[in-house]
Amino acid sequence: MGPVNWLAVVVATAVALGVSGLWYGPLFGRAKLEEVGPGGLGTRTSPGRTLMISALLLLVSSTMIGHMFARVGEATLSVKPWLYFMMSGGLAIAFVIPALWTSYSHQRISTRLAMIDAGYWLFAYLSMGLVFFLFG
Q: How confident is the model at residue 20 (pLDDT cuts 50, 70, 90)?
A: very high
More confident residue, 37 or 65: 65
Q: Is the residue at 104 inside a domain?
A: yes
Tell me the C-alpha distance between 59 and 16, whole Å. 9
Could you give phi then psi for residue 15, rounded to 5 degrees? Answer: -65, -40
In the predicted model, is pLDDT for residue 89 greater than 80? yes
Residue % of the chain over a pLDDT of 70: 93
What is the number of domains present in the chain? 1
Question: By residue range, what is the domain housing residue 68?
Answer: 6-135
Q: Is the residue at 117 inside a domain?
A: yes
3-state secondary structure 60-76: HHHHHHHHHHHHHCHHH
Q: Is the residue at 15 inside a domain?
A: yes
For residues 37-48, give the mean pLDDT.
64
Buried b (16+ CB within 10 A) or exposed e, 61-97: bbbebbeebbebeeeebeeeeebbeebbbebbbeebb
Q: Is the residue at 1 inside a domain?
A: no
Q: What is the pLDDT of the chain when averaged over all its residues?
A: 92
For residues 16-36, give the mean pLDDT.
90
User: Which residue from 110, 129, 126 is spatially nearest to 31, judged by alpha carbons?
Assistant: 110
Q: How confident is the model at residue 99 (pLDDT cuts 50, 70, 90)?
A: very high
Tell me the C-alpha distance between 83 and 89, whole Å. 9
More confident residue, 33 or 99: 99
